[in-house]
Amino acid sequence: MRRKLIYIAVAVLAVAVIAVLSGRKQDKTQEVKTDGGISVETSAVKAQVVESYVDATGNLTAKYSAEVRSEVSGKVREVYVKDWVKVNKGELLARIDSDEIAASAARAKASAENAKAASLEAQTYLNRADRELIRMQNLKQSGLATQQQLDDASTDMAAARARVASAQAQTAAAQEDYRQAAIRLGKAEITAPISGTIAVRNANVGDMAGGDNSAALFSIIDESIYDLNVSIPTVDIAGVGVGSRVEFTVDAFPEKVFEGKVAHVNPQVDTADRSIKVNIEVRNDENLLKSGFFVKAKIYTGEKRSVFLLPQSAILGNDSVARKAKVYVVQSGIARLKDVAVGHVYNGMVEITGGLKDGDNVVTRGGFTIKDGDVVSVGK
């Protein structure tokens, strides 16, 4: 029994020794951590020159487009293009049944030719009447013709002139009828008014085309150039003018930056929201952009400013509306939480407009693991 108690005492003593040693080791670990501080990465802020810009959003729209309708009524006889193909200006798209129009044009042409022949005949009669009048005038002077004969020749001359005038008027009217008929016949051929892509094709063989309320047979979009219309608050409009450089991104290609130029600035302010509409012209040289794409744009004003820039990883609690945020500044190995004013974002770098001074050591990595007043260790 006594030996058993000795064994128990030894076991208890061993456990106590292990506990003490473990506690000392733990205290030593904490002490090292406290002395070394929490590891963070920092960067000394330094003023950099950047070009100011204005943020804007909008949708791309085709600068040039056309709704193609038939100006003559009739059935669609032929369709020569499919959806979404490229066409050139003047290219034949479809043909309307033109038999009736062609017959009308043929009749108008015949009438014009008859009127022209009648005009030539009237001119011949006028020439003969002119010669006869001159002959009678000479005979009258020689005493070989009476006054009555001379008067009759003058009357015939006047009648011939009136006949020529009437024939010429009829010829002009007939030729105009034929010209109009030929135009109508030509309109039976539906051609592309601009170069572009067939965005919508509503024409099918056998459909009725034409009429006051007829739908467009084709919709053509010129994809080579787009318009981006945005609204800029009046407080930001200074520096935005015709020719201002624009950079923008679209959701389809978030990593690619496209360019454009301001083409027009509306001279009138929208009194509803105190904004000004700006038209930006965008060339689609790479054929990547599409009408309707949502755009996030930066309109550069040309103004150069010296600002502090920090990576987004250094910014805490960013309030983009109030333009406020927080950062940690390391002072004598202690992290101090500071309020800062933020501005634009330049390629992943946030503009700091207030709250820091040149040379401040700002935590750029590890800021989410510390709190104000913590001892930190700056990593290399």
* pLDDT, tens digit, 9 for 90 and up, residues 90-138: 999 999 998 888 888 899 999 999 999 999 999 999 999 999 999 999 9
286 and 163, same structural domain? Answer: no
**Residue 349 belongs to domain with CATH number:** 2.40.420.20
pLDDT at 36: 64
Whether 132 and 93 share a structural domain: no
CA distance 336 to 318: 17
Strands 316-319 and 74-79: unpaired
Same domain, 235 and 281: yes
Written as one letter, the residue type at 219 is S
What secondary structure letter does DSSP report for 367?
G
From 304, 335, 360, give the residue that closes a domain. Answer: 304
CATH number of the domain encompassing residue 292: 2.40.30.170
User: Which residue, 264, 299, 298, 256, is CA-closest to 281?
Assistant: 264
Instruction: Flag whether 17 is in a domain.
Output: no
Domain limit, last residue, from 138, 169, 187: 187
33 part of a folded domain:
no
Same domain as 230, residue 198: no
Backbone angles phi, psi at 161, to 5 degrees: -65, -40
Would residue 217 count as lying in a domain? yes
* Chain mean pLDDT for the chain: 87
Q: Check: pTM over 0.85? Answer yes or no.
A: no
| 13 domain residue, yes or no | no
Structural domain boundaries, residue 267: 54-62+223-304
| Domain match, 339 and 265 both | no
Question: Is residue 122 domain-shared with residue 165, that is, in the same domain?
Answer: yes
**Is pLDDT above 90 for 210?**
no
Cβ–Cβ < 8 Å for 202, 216: yes
Q: Does residue 35 fall inside a structural domain?
A: no
Sign (positive/negative) of CA torsion 230, 235, 236, 239?
Answer: positive
| Domain match, 208 and 88 both | yes
b/e map 20-51, b = 16+ CB within 10 Å: eeeeeeeeeeeeeeeeebbebbbeebeeeebe
In-domain check, residue 105: yes
**Co-location of 352 and 290 in the same domain:** no
User: What is the total count of domains within the chain?
Assistant: 4
Instruction: Clarify whether residues 209 and 177 are in a common domain.
Output: no
**Tens-digit pLDDT profile for residues 334-379:** 999 999 999 888 877 899 989 999 999 999 998 889 999 999 998 7
Structural domain includes residue 128: yes
pLDDT digits (tens, 9 = 90+) for 287-319: 999 999 999 999 999 888 888 999 999 999 888
Domain annotation covers residue 6: no
